[in-house]
Amino acid sequence: MTGTLKTSLSKIAYWVNDVFPGAKSLIPKSLHRFVLLRIVGMNDQYENMLRRNPERLFLQNEALPWVSATYKQVLFVGTAVYTYQYERLFADDPNRYTTIDRNPSTKVWGSKHHIVAPIEQIEQYRPPGFFDCIVLSGVLAYRIPEHGDYGLIEHDDLRALLKVLHGVLRQGGLLLVGWNLRDMTQSLSQLGLLEPYFAPTDKTPWGPRKEFPGDPHVFEFYERR
């Protein structure tokens, strides 16, 4: 399919979404994804992004497969066209995998049990200690004003979020946090925000921290106290 045709189809899709916002709810998720992926071509640049972003390769090929094999109930924060395939790692039991995003338009990329809400409100949707692992990647300090995206960056907001995550994570559960050092130069641990909710843990194949030479992204692993 030519680039011009895909561009035209993409514009039509966005027009339908703007004019008939409720139309998407009438379309099965599998069909909706097919149209966006195969006809509109929304995921055409994903492979290029993977080549440019080693942290995405790590998340997809190492971290999440290990998380799926190690933890039963997993919460993944933030959904996009390049995250939908993660649910395949939980194909043995889709009820083990929950996604959450505050943007209603990304629901199509969410799991069977997707939640449309800010992560700060997760306590309204799941009981205390429900999750064994929470994956929080690309959320902290992530800001794209033109897209309406404002990641958490103020210390009080970060501390409040950690308290919420502590509440829905079981004792000994894992919090996996990934971020860009250009957005937040110090980790939650270095900022002194983990106490009394979490502590760095080396109970992962990568120890308490995973870095990528020449790349500003980093992951840290925290255990729920």
Q: pLDDT per residue over 92-150, tens digit each?
A: 999 999 999 998 988 888 999 999 999 999 999 999 999 999 999 988 865 544 444 54
Highest mean pLDDT among 11-15, 68-72, 178-182: 68-72
What whole-number percentage of the chain has pLDDT above 90?
A: 58
Tokens 């809400």 sit on residue: 117
Q: Which of 174, 118, 116, 122 is nearest to 151 (CA)?
A: 118
Can you give the pTM of this predicted structure?
A: 0.82
Superfamily (CATH) of domain 52-224: Vaccinia Virus protein VP39 (3.40.50.150)
pLDDT at residue number 81: 83
- Inter-residue contact 134 to 182 (CB < 8 Å): no
Per-residue pLDDT band for 43 (boundaries 50, 70, 90) equals: low
Q: Which of 168, 177, 166, 176 is nearest to 224 (CA)?
A: 166
Residues 30 and 38: their CA atoms lie apart, in Å, by 12
Q: Which of 211, 189, 218, 185 is nearest to 201 (CA)?
A: 189
| Residue 40 CB coordination number (10 Å) | 21
Residues 225 and 222: their CA atoms lie apart, in Å, by 9
H or E segment at 208? none
Tokens at 115, concatenated: 């939640």
Per domain, the residue ranges of the chain are 1-44, 52-224
Task: List alpha helices for the chain, DSSP H.
Answer: 3-19, 29-34, 46-52, 54-58, 64-70, 155-168
- Inter-residue contact 174 to 133 (CB < 8 Å): yes
In the predicted model, is pLDDT for residue 41 greater than 90? Answer: no
Residues 100 and 109: their CA atoms lie apart, in Å, by 10
Low-confidence winner among 72-76, 136-140, 169-173, 199-203 (lowest mean pLDDT): 136-140
